Amino acid sequence: MVVAATMLALGETTVLGEESGIAPAKLLEVLGGGYVGFTLLQAKKDMLINDDFTPGGIAAYMLKDLGFASEVAVSTGASPVLLPALLSSYQELVDAGLGNEDLAVVKKFIQQRS
């Protein structure tokens, strides 16, 4: 859930930045210098900047992982807030034909929704 949510947030942030006239490289550099400067950002930063969605870890795998989280939520009686939105978003991404791309394809997914 954490990776799924974080990548979706990074994709949205990158698109909003670009649409506001902020270069992705500069935006992600600034984010990387603060609390957001974590391993996932460092691993996907260049892919987001260069619109490189060459499969590394494909986006469709997020559905599998989120499905496991959903099963745990059901079996424990938990009521997650973010999980349903993540499942819906990644299902929409896969249904749009983007599931076999790298997880960085969330950026393209957000752009296509605009």
CATH number, domain at 9?
1.10.1040.10
Q: CA dihedral in degrees (98, 103, 104, 110; nearest 10)?
A: 50
Buried b (16+ CB within 10 A) or exposed e, 56-79: eebbbebbeebeebbeeeeeeeee
Q: Give dist(CA 46, CA 21) in Å, integer.
A: 18
pLDDT at 65: 92
pLDDT at 61 (0 to 100)? 92
For residue 99, give its domain range: 2-113
pLDDT tens string for the chain (114 positions)? 889 999 999 999 999 999 999 999 999 888 888 777 778 888 888 999 999 999 888 999 999 999 999 999 999 999 999 999 999 999 999 999 999 999 999 999 999 998
Q: Are 86 and 27 in contact (CB under 8 A)?
A: no
Identify whether the C-beta of residue 80 lies closer than 8 Å to the C-beta of residue 73: yes
| Pairwise CA distance, residues 9 & 32, whole Å | 14
| 3-class secondary structure, 95 | helix
User: What is the number of domains present in the chain?
Assistant: 1
**What is the per-residue pLDDT for 40?**
83
